[in-house]
Amino acid sequence: MELRAQTTAQALGWELLARDGEARAGLLRTRRGVIETPVFMPVGTLGSVKGVRFEELEAADTDARIILGNTYHLWLRPGPETVRALGGLHRFIGWERALLTDSGGFQVFSLSDLRRVNEEGVEFRSHLDGRLCFLSPEVSMEVQAALGSDIVMAFDECPPGEAGREQARASMELTARWARRSRGRFDELQAAGADAGRAGENGLSGRQAIFGIVQGAAHLDLRRESLARTVEVGFDGYAIGGLSVGEEKAVMYAVVEEIAPPMPPDRPRYLMGVGTPEDLVECVARGVDMFDCVLPTRNGRNGQAFTSRGRLNIKNARWAADPRPLDEACACAVCRRHSRAYLRHLYMAGEMLGGVLLSHHNLASFLDTMRRVRQAIRSGEFTRFRREFLEGISSGVE
């Protein structure tokens, strides 16, 4: 065991509370609160978790401790200097709990046209107005400092899920070089006091924390090399990127199984953009601590509810006179109060409350699943929980 002198306070801490196989229950200490892991982080793309008020995110049935903001979207609109002038993203949106921002890389690669990637960064046209923009590790760090998020993500290149070996290797190597540049610029910005979200709590340094990202598509040897090179740069936490981008589910599980367990044991592990309730449980079983995904709110807006017996499509005529809640096993505010019949009526009538209520239930359901996952790990019953949970969601809604 390597001994390191703790001369300066850390930006972020993670400690293990219990293990069950590879599944870990822990405490993530951030400058804005202590977060129990494994944790699901609702996505607030444009500074809003779509359709869900912040009071509801904080309410007991949901109790989100950390949410995401998207650097790409907030950079284009309203712009980092506007957010900085308004006191950083926490103040701007009215959320004092923890925030993580992505690097903008994934959105550039998935949303924009006319991308040109070179060593320096990515040139692309804004999906809003066609304006020519340039994003690099340095720009991403500057934007994330202006947003003042508590956890910053290094700028990476996300190759397509089916990337061949050559393309995946080139992309992984570029990501490794960009990780070093991200870390360098990030440290300069912290030293210069550019972080708009500084906050002292939990004996931490009060600075932003930064996570590195492992790439390499479906190639396990490239993934291992990417992990080694990312750890060599040194980050506060480590993420697995480039999954849930259209690859087979077995591929995703294989990559996570290969990469999460050898990640530094005293650092949080974050699987980006994943996933369904079954993905969360399956990837916790493979050693992941943190997740984010747009599914609860996106599918909620489209009339789909996640329940303990699988997915429920509220448009289905069979619910038209059904007095039962979306999920009889759910204690969320929506399930305590409203029937499937009412929710279907709202959806069919085009009432925006329909999407709002389904989004709330879905988020509450995801966060409750993670609560139960944590309890199961801490009581040594995760294996049984996992089996029963998967049986439940594949049993079908009645």
- For Zn ion, which stretch binds (CB under 5 A), given 40-48, 266-274, 329-337, 385-393? 329-337
Minimum Å gap between C-beta 49 and Zn ion is 16
Query: At 209, phi and psi to the nearest 5?
Result: -105, 155
The interface with Zn ion within residues 340-369 (CB under 5 A) comprises 361
Q: Is 143 one of the binding residues for Zn ion (CB under 5 A)?
A: no
Q: Which residues of 382-394 are buried (b: 16+ CB within 10 A; e: fewer)?
A: beebbeebeeebe
The one catalytic residue in 102, 150, 195, 236 is 102
Report the distance separating Cα 29 and Cα 37, nearest Å: 10
In the residue annotation, 102 being an active-site residue is answered as yes
In the residue annotation, 113 being an active-site residue is answered as no
Query: At 221, phi and psi to the nearest 5?
Result: -70, -40
Parallel, antiparallel or unpaired: strands 39-44 and 66-69: parallel
Minimum Å gap between C-beta 307 and Zn ion is 8
Q: Which of 277, 294, 302, 291 is nearest to 358 (CA)?
A: 302
Element (H, E) at 306: strand 304-307
Q: Is 312 one of the binding residues for Zn ion (CB under 5 A)?
A: no
Report the distance separating Cα 222 and Cα 206, nearest Å: 35
Q: Is 284 one of the binding residues for Zn ion (CB under 5 A)?
A: no
Minimum Å gap between C-beta 364 and Zn ion is 5
Q: How many residues bind Zn ion (CB under 5 A)?
A: 5
Minimum Å gap between C-beta 362 and Zn ion is 8
Residue 232 or 328: the one with the smaller Cβ distance to Zn ion is 328
Q: Kindly tell me which residue out of 335, 367, 370, 373 binds Zn ion, with binding defined by CB under 5 A.
A: 335
Q: Kindly tell me which residue out of 163, 332, 343, 363 binds Zn ion, with binding defined by CB under 5 A.
A: 332
Report the distance separating Cα 143 and Cα 149, nearest Å: 10
Minimum Å gap between C-beta 294 and Zn ion is 19
The one catalytic residue in 279, 292, 327, 368 is 292
Residue 128 or 329: the one with the smaller Cβ distance to Zn ion is 329
Q: Is 330 one of the binding residues for Zn ion (CB under 5 A)?
A: yes
Helices (H), the chain: 54-58, 71-76, 80-85, 89-93, 105-111, 137-147, 165-191, 220-233, 249-259, 277-284, 295-301, 333-337, 340-348, 352-378, 382-393
Residues that are catalytic: 102, 292
Q: Which residues bind Zn ion (CB under 5 A)?
A: 330, 332, 334-335, 361
